[in-house]
Every structure is written in C-alpha cells, then in structure tokens.
Amino acid sequence: MSDRAALVAYAERTIAAGSKSFAAAARLFDPATRERAMLLYAWCRACDDLADGQALGHGMTRVTDGAARVARMRALTAAALAGTGTGEPAFDALAIVAAETGLPARFAEDLLAGFALDAEGWAPADEADLYRYCYHVAGAVGCMMAVVMGVDPAETGVLDRACDLGLAFQLANVARDIGEDAEAGRCYLPADWLDEAGVARTALADPTSRPALAMLARRLAERAGRYEASARVGAAALPFRSAWAVLAAAGIYGDIARAVAARGEAALTRRVTTSRTAKLGWVARAWLQARRRHAVAPRPRTGLWTRPR
C-alpha cells in the first residue's frame, strides 16, 4: 500500500480503533496536519502493537521474541526513513511523514530504543530512570508531533515542552496500567519507590499490595500533572488549531491521571477511561485556552527532567 490517500484512510481507521482520545484531538488540526498526525500515529501504533503482542492497543500478551520484533521494527523504520517502500502500510505512512516534514531520524530511533528496553525486560531503578524510559516511548513522539505541527527541530525549548506532554501522557499510562502491566510481567514503578512502599516486584498482583500501589499511582499522577502544566506553556509556539488539539489532548489525558489519583485502589482493578462527554468538554475548554495561549505567562521548567540532546 503506497498510495497516499489509501494510507491516510488506513491511518484514520487505525487511530479511530486504537485511541478515541487521540482521535478526538486529531480532528482539531488543520487538514494537512491532521493527516500527517494520523500517519505518524499509525506507525507508532504498529510498533507498540508489535512490541506488546497486541492489536490496536488491546490484548497485551507476554512476548518471548522481543529482540526479534525490535529488529524487525528497526529494519522497516530504516527503510521508511530512507524513502524505500516496505509493503507495510504503517511504515509506509512514516515514510510520507518524514518526506513531507523533514522529520529527524533520531526521534524515531529514540522511540525504538524504548521498545528495545522492554524487550530486555528493563525496569527503572529510580525516578530519573523512569523519565528516561518515558522519553523513549512517549517524549520522543511528542518531539515528532511538534515537527509535524511545523516546529523547527532546532527550536529546542519548544521541543522540550512537546516532550513534556509525552512524559505526562506516559506517566498517566503507567499509573493507569499498574495492574495490567503486572499481569503481563512488567513493572514501570521505580525500584526505590517500591522499596520505600514495602512492595516486592513479585507481589504486584497480590491484593494486599493494593494500598501501597494506589499511593504510588497517586504519586505518578502528581508527576504527570507537573509535566502537563509545563507542556501547556509550549502551546504559545503553535498555530491556533495545533494549539487547540494539543491542549485538548492534554486535558483529556490529564483527566486519566486525575481519575487514577481519585479512585485509589479501584483504579488498579478497573481500567480508567474518559467519557465522550468529558472529551467534548475538553474540546470546548481547549478552544478558549488556545485563543488565550499568548497571554499565558511563561513558566520555567525548573525541577523537571530534560530530554537528551
């Protein structure tokens, strides 16, 4: 599949099935940016599904050939970035985005490095380790999305804010998915946090661990809020419709972190989602926030982890 229109249609189906939150936010972009954002999403979704042995973000399974899967992703991605047809629609979609935006290859490579960490059974030792992982699997995507929205890759300050939004999203994911990850044999909670809480990695699925894990989920949600707040500052550098989409996504995903914190132990056994009404509410609020984005006082990123240059 190499026809651009067909690839866009494929990407639109993928985002509709894979993430209702991102699909809702993507509708707010101008047409050209929306198509490129969906094409990029299709590639990210395909890599994530391949890494996790799932389909469109659902049905995660234990993967035993992780290194081979990552090697395949890398080979197909390298071909796509070189402008070579792969015969895989998601990777051909990336080729279009890279050709049309001048997307730096390093961001795609950084994302794949995150999947390699998962394939190695990596787990964070401390909070800084967690942020490094979040950069690889989500912050790098934030940087790629910024380029898709027209940000010059040399604008490091703007890309830092875009990375912050990716970190906020991933921290919310980690908080929401503690129980699901445990069942799949994964844990993204820092080892020193677990030691402090008195929870062994082997006991994550034990019901007696839930009070402590709920406390750690709240801590993750609080960290997600810090990065969400920082990312909002970057909206001032974007065109109106891109800022509208970004701020809507920040609010929609931010609600996931806030709900995890509010629900406590219940969030460990029942996946947190956001309703259609809540999403529409953020679309409306983000429109007003985007209109006022230039009036927001700049706030330094003091105390926040910074992506590798």
pLDDT at 1 over 60: no
What 3-state class would DSSP assign to 58?
A: strand
Q: Which residue has the tokens 């961001």?
A: 107
The pLDDT of 56-72, averaged and rounded, is 74
Lowest average pLDDT, out of 157-166, 230-239, 281-290, 296-305, goes to: 296-305
Residue 57: what pLDDT?
55
pLDDT tens digits, 73-118: 999 999 999 988 889 999 999 999 999 999 999 999 999 999 999 8
What's the confidence (pLDDT) of residue 273? 85
CATH assignment of 123-309, among 3.90.1720.10, 1.10.600.10, 1.20.120.80, 3.10.310.30: 1.10.600.10
Where are the domains positioned within the chain? 1-102, 123-309
pLDDT of res. 186 = 78
> What pLDDT, on a 0 to 100 scale, did the predictor assign at position 130?
97
Distance CA 98, CA 189 (A): 34
| pLDDT the model gives residue 257 | 95
pLDDT value at 23 more than 90: no
The pLDDT score that the predictor gives to residue 59 is: 57
User: How does pLDDT run across 161-219, given as a tens digit for each residue?
Assistant: 999 999 999 999 999 999 888 777 778 999 999 999 999 988 888 889 999 999 999 99
Give CA–CA dist 204/212, Å, rounded.
10
The CA-based angle 194-139-100, given to 5 degrees, is 160
Residue given tokens 């927001």 in the structure block: 296
Q: Find, among 202, 246, 231, the residue nearest to 299 by Cα.
A: 231
First vs last C-alpha separation in the chain = 35
Q: CA-to-CA distance for 164 and 144, rounded, in angstroms?
A: 13
Give Cβ neighbours of residue 163 (< 8 Å, ≥ 6 apart).
Answer: 135, 139, 140, 142, 143, 307
The number of beta carbons lying within 10 Å of the beta carbon of residue 239 is 14
What is each CA distance from 295 to 101, 206, 237, in whole angstroms? 29, 49, 12
% of the chain residues with pLDDT over 70: 96
What mean pLDDT comes out for the span 64-75? 88
pLDDT digits (tens, 9 = 90+) for 107-138: 999 999 999 998 888 889 999 999 999 999 99
| CA distance to 33, 36, 144, 158, 208, per residue, from 154 (Å) | 19, 20, 12, 9, 49
pLDDT at 255 over 80: yes
Phi, psi at residue 188, to the nearest 5°?
A: -110, 10
The amino acid occupying position 186 is R
**How far is residue 42's CA from residue 40's CA, in Å, rounded to a whole number?**
5
Contact between 282 and 252 (Cβ < 8 Å): yes
The residues near 236 (Cβ < 8 Å, ≥ 6 apart) are: 243, 293, 294, 296, 298
